[in-house]
Structure 1
Amino acid sequence: MPSALTYPGVYIEERASGVRTITGVATSIAAFVDSFPRGPLNEAVQCLGYADFEREFGGIHTTSEASYGIKQFFQNGGAECWVVRVATLDSATVAENAIEARAMVEDSLGTAMFRVLAGRRLRGAIATDPGDWGNHVFLEIDYDTSAPTETFNLSITEQVIENGRRRVLRNEVFRNLTMELAAPNYAVDTVNETSRIVQLDRFDLTGTALAALPTTAPFPRPAVSGSEGADLPMPAAIPPNTSTFDVTVADDTDPAVPRATHTATLSYAGAAPLTYQALRPHIEAAIRALALPALAETERSLLAGATVRLLGKGTTASPYRFVVQGGRGSPDYLAGSTLTIETAIAQDMGFPTGSIANVQQYQLADGLDGLLPVDDVALIGSEAPKTGIYALEDVDLVNILCIPHAADLDGTNMRAVYDQAAVYMSSRRGFLLIDIPPATATLDAMQTWMTENDPLRSRDAAVYFPRTFVPDPANGNRLRSIGASGTIAGLYARTDATRGVWKAPAGTDAKLENVQALAYALTDLQNGALNPLGVNCLRTFPGYSHISWGARTLEGADTLASEWKYIPIRRLALYIEESLFRGTKWVVFEPNDEPLWAQIRLNVGVFMNGLFRQGAFQGKTPQEAYFVKCDKETTTQADRNLGIVNILVGFAPLKPAEFVVLTIQQIAGDLQ
């Protein structure tokens, strides 16, 4: 009742119903641990589609078995996975801490402004993101800002070369940055909080801290890319009409490409300009006029899209200077391409005597992929620093673990990886899919493999035979042999979504999408030799294509007679356990007596009844299908004294119809 009744009238009081809904957890969130061409190292990254994986980790790569498995996972019905990139780094590399691509950005006097590292921020810290991929990141700096004399813009571009052509993969632009430490647009903080390509810090390339930034104006800023980095002396005069200057196009990234020099002619078509502002478009037009159709596309695009900008205040203390940058309209654009201006009247045009090489962009360098392939130590990792499989500790829920590269290790190291992974997944109430090595390509080889790896038997793991062949986009779509784990994980997800986790992920509707062939064609008798061993077979049936034809855990060998023989029963139990584990946390610290027990029976019973109505259990009635017991019999006074409440939940699982027996009898006709 209300705590205080002070006035005559009607009082309203709300009373809790005691109903606390238990929500079923997801059942098919997969995790993949392997090497990848890019991505944060030893950090679990969520991917909700193959596009996410391609963007974060570089997509298909011939040295990464899991990259093919992840593609198969999404093509077969998977919707969410977590990817952990591992790498084996030699001691020298680790000691130098020089594994990410990097570059130094300086001001016009050569003073270091900041270091740029390939990588991005995860959970508040810079994620180590080693790899050659970072060597294809380029930076551009300009002063075309709202305060041209104080701030700068930073453009970041990641490029890839495909079939000899350069393609921009990602691009980020940060405008109106400053090196004023206390400013809200301080370059280091602004870029680090937002960029998914690079991170900035105030260290040099060796990791030594840079000198402190000034606390009062003027604040330094990095030099404009494409300029000399310093103001030029005031010229004597505006060059006259028809003055010429040479423009040289070169590819600084490939010395084998010959330099091409063209003569540009200024054309005023009237009175000569009187200011440098008026001269600028004439210089630009003269360079662009060199882009004749007969030139190669790369060279033509550099000239046709050339831009000329005028920087400076136009005083003796701060004279004007021209900045010339080549165009980038061609798909063949090379980031290292330059335009060089060489002319006898260079001084008159605002260029220094001799030449000015227009280096358009800073390029990151020294990124390393690490030692490939990765070893068992990198895959297993360590629990304390959360590396390898233990990087998944930062993930709330993982149901299925795939480590395709483990199958390529020697027998001892493979068993070490899968044994540790099985133990870890059991602690997470998850399931492990084990891949077999490429050499296990025959029935005899698979039987031998099972004998040699008998210690891997677990109720929370399964193995499939044979390996599958899928098109390889990195090799002209020629067929490539891969382990089945990624495909099967996707099949689990598809079956869970359409039928439920209690349905065996096998049968004629368990088609293996994007699988072009199987490494071995099994007969019924051969299937019958492997099935009693707990090996799930992949079969090819006319009209049904390639399908999964087995649903046993590695404790599913007939000789073991395990109650966890079948995958759907084990995965249903894991689903119920995880859902109840999360859904009964409210019980902790509640008064341990009959009112609490009644609420527990109500809420757990509602959850179990929901599964019964979906067809997850045997039985015609709830009483036949499941029970929930929590009372003074399960929780004795001794338990209550120790702060323990015991909840007993039982269910009658649906066992798959693994063998269908048809009895056919001939009957005599009507003898009358």
Structure 2
Amino acid sequence: MPEYLAPGVYVEEVSFRAKSIEGVPTSTTGMAGMARFGPVQYAEFDGPSTCKPRLITSYTEFERVYGGLAPMQLSDGSERVAYLAHAARAFFNNGGRRLYVSRVYQAPAGMTTFNACGQLTAVTDAGNATWRARWPGEDGNVLVETRVTRSRNLGFNWPADPNDVLNKAAWGIQVRTARAGAVVEVLPAGPLADNAPLTNTLYVIEVDNNGRQTFIDSSGNPAVVADGTPLALVELRVIVRGPGGRIDSYEQLGAHSAQSRHIGKVLERDDPEDENAMVWLDLSVLDTAHRHHPAALMKGLQAAAKRLAGGVDGAVPAPDALRGNEADVDHAERRATGLEALGELEDIAIVAMPDSGVSGLPADPLFSQLCVDHLVAHAEKYRYRIAVADARPSMSITDIREFRGRFDSKYAALYHPWIEVLDPMFPAVPGVPPRKLLLPPSGFVCGIYARSDIERGVHKAPANEVVRGLTQFEININKARQDVLNPEGVNCLRFFEGRGSRVWGARTMSSDPEWKYVNVRRLFIYVEHSIEKATQWAVFEPNQERLWANIRRMVEDFLLVLWRDGALVGAKPEEAYFVRCDRSTMTQNDLDNGRMICQVGIAPSRPAEFVIFRVGQWTADAQG
């Protein structure tokens, strides 16, 4: 309790109510897989440090960060569909709102990730400067144009002033608004075209403690500039043209590290001004000790070629690479990769791996099995998430049953078949059959999970929901086929005349009848995760009746809201849940060892999977 040592009036804030539990988000999704561009951990740890999975809130944002839908050109000469990009597009089209993406990149044999990034070297008198793509991939072969912008004549002389103790009038010509490190150019007599090549008459400004400017020439020595010489301030403008018509522009850039908008700071490797910048400027071999190096850098960048080269899309990662590695606790630069990178994000509730269905051409059955194994193990390891698994394309009913039989987990659900869409990279042309693609269902289903959670709640089974953005399913599953697949835990996607294409199953891949349904598993995840996050304040509190009563009231208030929302079964709250936290749940040994045990029981609402109407004849009594 607070101390009262001196006489006075003391006002204290206290709480007379139980703390509340805020439900955790359930629609946030995480995906790991191959992308055309974007943040990825460099295998040799010499790449940008900002390589964590990004939170994406729209497909437009996904395109800017991770590239578009164009197929990837693999190092073995084959072409691969950008399944992750298509899955992200399907996720947002079907109602998803928050998506974390963990990019996985496999450099070609004999090449490092660093060398798989596009690059372009500009030769200067003070050493070389190299434009480098921040991330590996063919999309990194961008067009970089460095332009110069010139001001009007800014040269002037200080007027004579008898009160000026510095005698600035004797300084000679100066340049308005110029700071240390700025580059100025002697303007020619005639007109100068926009972005005309820099002349040889360039000076770098140095400023002493009194504010006097000195002009450094190309030899690195102070130069005498005659009064009346027209001097223009020179700055850089960098225009980066990427795929899909993307254009990034960076204005008012300087070439000296002392300037606030130094080109090496604005376009640096780890923390650029634009976190989604496609390139960075490597100045590691530039001779910054040369006093004229800013002017030399400007001339070299302006005269350099424009197209980066050397970026490649790499190879299909092995299942272990898609699973990834945990972060190295002893080396901060070695961050988690693949699925393990998603494990560091607590708010993810749904995980998928759209690349798991196809390893190449033709499909490798073992590849898909290992990928789903890793996905299921990830969901079980981190507990508070469910895995949406894909089978391989073109699987017969026997194949899909055999595939499903290899797994048993209450934290995963399998959906079948694959989904056919119109290829958005080939717009429809009259008289030409449209090109179509087969995509794994996980992207669509994850969006439906999120949509169902937002509109109805996590307790509603994500089934009997319309699948958006498709032409048809790969195969037509009828009732006879589903009669075989549904009891085995294969969630079918079906077309119904007059009702569209729908998800027609809500079962997990578990053999335990208690965890048969997806919504039951996710409801318990939601309750457990919410309670865990909201009760952290109770750790190290005095373990006695007051704490137990607070915990009971807090959990009961939370469950009461769930019951009112229809998540729990029971005509009364007492039938829907119970919360016990008292001496009946704890022994003296528990108290002596610092354990507070609270038992929570809930009656989840299971889906009406089989709606049965029994209709028979009935003869009413005759009325006289």
Following the alignment from structure 1 to structure 2, what is the Cα–Cα distance between the partners of residues 504 and 118?
44
User: Which of 321, 324, 329 is the equivalent residue of 1:378?
Assistant: 321
What SS is found at the alignment partner of 2:107?
coil
Alpha-carbon RMSD across the aligned residues, in angstroms, is 2.4
Structure 1 runs (4+) deviating above 6 angstroms are none
> Within the alignment, does 1:45 sit opposite 2:48 as a pair?
no
> Within the alignment, does 1:484 sit opposite 2:441 as a pair?
yes
> Within the alignment, does 1:58 sit opposite 2:76 as a pair?
no
Following the alignment from structure 1 to structure 2, what is the Cα–Cα distance between the partners of residues 414 and 481?
16
> Within the alignment, does 1:214 sit opposite 2:169 as a pair?
no
C-alpha deviation, 1:482, in angstroms: 1.2
8 Å contact kept, 1:625–1:651: yes
Aligned to 2:262: 186
Aligned to 1:316: none
Aligned to 2:114: 97
Following the alignment from structure 1 to structure 2, what is the Cα–Cα distance between the partners of residues 2 and 457?
56
What SS is found at the alignment partner of 1:194?
coil
> Within the alignment, does 1:116 sit opposite 2:131 as a pair?
yes
C-alpha deviation, 1:220, in angstroms: 4.4
Q: Which amino acid aligns with 2:127?
A: A
What SS is found at the alignment partner of 2:132?
strand
Following the alignment from structure 1 to structure 2, what is the Cα–Cα distance between the partners of residues 226 and 565?
63
Aligned to 1:570: 521
What SS is found at the alignment partner of 1:93?
coil
Please give the per-residue CA displacement for 1:186-230, whole angstroms capped at 9, x wherever unaligned.
331232231322222333xxxxxx255128677544234797x6x
Q: Mark the CA change 1:104 to 1:599 in structure 2 (over 3 Å): closer, same or farther.
A: same
C-alpha deviation, 1:611, in angstroms: 1.2
Aligned to 1:281: none
C-alpha deviation, 1:364, in angstroms: 1.7
8 Å contact kept, 1:383–1:390: yes
User: Which of 70, 86, 89 is the equivalent residue of 1:68?
Assistant: 86
Aligned to 1:369: 313
Instruction: Report 1:167-186 matches (<5 A).
Output: 167=245, 169-179=246-256, 181-186=257-262
What SS is found at the alignment partner of 1:475?
coil
Instruction: Report 1:400-411 matches (<5 A).
Output: 400-409=350-359, 410-411=364-365
Instruction: Report 1:466-477 matches (<5 A).
Output: 466-476=417-427
Following the alignment from structure 1 to structure 2, what is the Cα–Cα distance between the partners of residues 176 and 462?
52
C-alpha deviation, 1:561, in angstroms: 4.4
Following the alignment from structure 1 to structure 2, what is the Cα–Cα distance between the partners of residues 218 and 660?
79
Q: Which amino acid aligns with 1:141?
A: R
Q: Which amino acid aligns with 1:25?
A: V
Following the alignment from structure 2 to structure 1, what is the Cα–Cα distance between the partners of residues 292 and 470?
64
Following the alignment from structure 2 to structure 1, what is the Cα–Cα distance between the partners of residues 7 and 290?
65
What SS is found at the alignment partner of 1:574?
helix
Q: Which amino acid aligns with 2:320?
A: V
Aligned to 1:160: 243
Aligned to 2:451: 494
Following the alignment from structure 2 to structure 1, what is the Cα–Cα distance between the partners of residues 28 and 376?
16
8 Å contact kept, 1:44–1:84: yes
- Percent identity between the two aligned chains: 30
What SS is found at the alignment partner of 2:508?
coil
Aligned to 1:250: none
Aligned to 2:137: 131
Please give the per-residue CA displacement for 1:120-147, whole angstroms capped at 9, x wherever unaligned.
xxxxxxxxx1011121231313152565
Q: Mark the CA change 1:599 to 1:191 in structure 2 (over 3 Å): closer, same or farther.
A: same
C-alpha deviation, 1:71, in angstroms: 0.8
Q: Which amino acid aligns with 1:366?
A: G
> Within the alignment, does 1:22 sit opposite 2:21 as a pair?
yes
Following the alignment from structure 1 to structure 2, what is the Cα–Cα distance between the partners of residues 194 and 601?
49
Q: Which amino acid aligns with 1:116?
A: W
8 Å contact kept, 1:415–1:456: no
Following the alignment from structure 2 to structure 1, what is the Cα–Cα distance between the partners of residues 551 and 566?
23
Task: Calculate the TM-score normalised by the size of structure 2.
Answer: 0.76
8 Å contact kept, 2:422–2:437: yes
Aligned to 2:544: 593
Q: Which amino acid aligns with 1:191?
A: L
Aligned to 2:216: none
What SS is found at the alignment partner of 2:249?
strand
Following the alignment from structure 1 to structure 2, what is the Cα–Cα distance between the partners of residues 446 and 542?
25
What SS is found at the alignment partner of 1:92?
coil
Instruction: Report 1:254-653 matches (<5 A).
Output: 362-371=306-315, 373-384=316-327, 385-409=335-359, 410-428=364-382, 429-440=384-395, 442-450=396-404, 454-476=405-427, 478-507=435-464, 510-555=465-510, 560-653=511-604
Following the alignment from structure 2 to structure 1, what is the Cα–Cα distance between the partners of residues 109 and 485?
44
Please give the per-residue CA displacement for 1:367-386, whole angstroms capped at 9, x wherever unaligned.
12112x33323211222441
User: Which of 591, 616, 621 is the equivalent residue of 1:665?
Assistant: 616
* Greater Cα offset, 561-570 or 635-644: 635-644
8 Å contact kept, 1:78–1:493: yes
Please give the per-residue CA displacement for 1:138-159, whole angstroms capped at 9, x wherever unaligned.
1313152565514531313123
Please give the per-residue CA displacement for 1:465-490, whole angstroms capped at 9, x wherever unaligned.
22211121123453211111111111
Aligned to 1:12: 11
C-alpha deviation, 1:11, in angstroms: 4.8
Following the alignment from structure 2 to structure 1, what is the Cα–Cα distance between the partners of residues 616 and 460?
32
Task: Calculate the TM-score normalised by the size of structure 1.
Answer: 0.71
What SS is found at the alignment partner of 1:138?
strand
What SS is found at the alignment partner of 1:144?
strand
8 Å contact kept, 1:142–1:225: no
8 Å contact kept, 2:121–2:129: yes
8 Å contact kept, 1:382–1:388: yes
C-alpha deviation, 1:113, in angstroms: 4.8
8 Å contact kept, 1:639–1:645: yes
Q: Which amino acid aligns with 1:98?
A: N
Aligned to 1:140: 146
Q: Which amino acid aligns with 2:309?
A: A
Q: Which amino acid aligns with 1:390?
A: E
Equivalent residue pairs, number: 504
Q: Which amino acid aligns with 2:3?
A: S
Following the alignment from structure 1 to structure 2, what is the Cα–Cα distance between the partners of residues 564 and 77?
26
C-alpha deviation, 1:18, in angstroms: 5.3
C-alpha deviation, 1:50, in angstroms: 0.6
8 Å contact kept, 1:142–1:224: no
